[in-house]
Amino acid sequence: MTSNTKSGKSRFLGRTVIGAAALLGGAAVLIAATGPSSTPAPAGMAPKIAPSSIAPAAPAIAPRAAPTPAAPSAAPLPVPPMLGGPAMMLGDGELRGISKPSNQAELYFNGPGVVKSVAIKLGDMVKAGQVVAVQDDREEQAVLLEKQKAVGTAELQILAANADLADKKVDLKRAEELYAIELAQGKSNSEVDKARVGVLIGEIAVKYRTAEFEAAKLAVDTIRVKIDQKKLAAPLDGVVAKVDLHPGEGADIQRSTNILIVRNDPLWVDVNIPSDKVLQLRQKAVKQVQVRYLDSNDWQTAEILNFQALANPGANVTPVRLQVANPSLREAGLQLVVKLPDDGLANADPAGK
Query: What percentage of the chain carries pLDDT values higher than 90?
Result: 62
**CA atoms of 325 and 298, how far apart (whole Å):** 13
Going from N- to C-terminal start, the domains of the chain cover 89-104+259-344, 137-229
The 10 Å Cβ neighbour count of residue 138 is 9
Centroid of chain to Cα 300:
32
CA angle 131, 135, 137 (to 5 degrees): 110
Helix 190-229 crosses helix 138-178 at what angle (to 10 degrees)? 170
**CA atoms of 288 and 299, how far apart (whole Å):** 12
> Is the pLDDT score of 19 beyond 90?
no
pTM over 0.85: no
pLDDT for the residue 191: 93
The CATH number of the structural domain formed by 89-104+259-344 is: 2.40.30.170
> Is the pLDDT score of 339 beyond 50?
yes
For residue 183, give the nearest of 168, 194, 193 by alpha carbon: 193
Contacts of 45 (CB under 8 A, 6+ apart): none
**CA atoms of 236 and 104, how far apart (whole Å):** 8
Contacts of 104 (CB under 8 A, 6+ apart): 238, 241, 260, 261, 262, 263
- Phi/psi at 4 (5° precision): -70, -35
**Parallel/antiparallel/unpaired status of strands 250-251 and 113-118:** antiparallel
pLDDT for the residue 68: 54
Condensed to tens digits (0 to 9), the pLDDT of residues 47-59 reads 444 444 444 444 4
More confident residue, 321 or 257: 321
Condensed to tens digits (0 to 9), the pLDDT of residues 168-208 reads 999 999 999 999 998 898 888 999 999 999 999 999 999 99
CB–CB of 241/100 below 8 Å?
Answer: no
The type of residue at 256 is S
Q: From residue 307, how far is each of 219, 318, 336, 350 by CA, in Å?
A: 51, 7, 18, 20
Q: Helix, strand, or coil here: 272? A: strand
The 10 Å Cβ neighbour count of residue 197 is 12
> Is the pLDDT score of 341 beyond 90?
no
Condensed to tens digits (0 to 9), the pLDDT of residues 132-149 reads 999 999 999 999 999 999
pLDDT for the residue 48: 47
**CA atoms of 124 and 262, how far apart (whole Å):** 11
Largest CA distance in the chain: 212
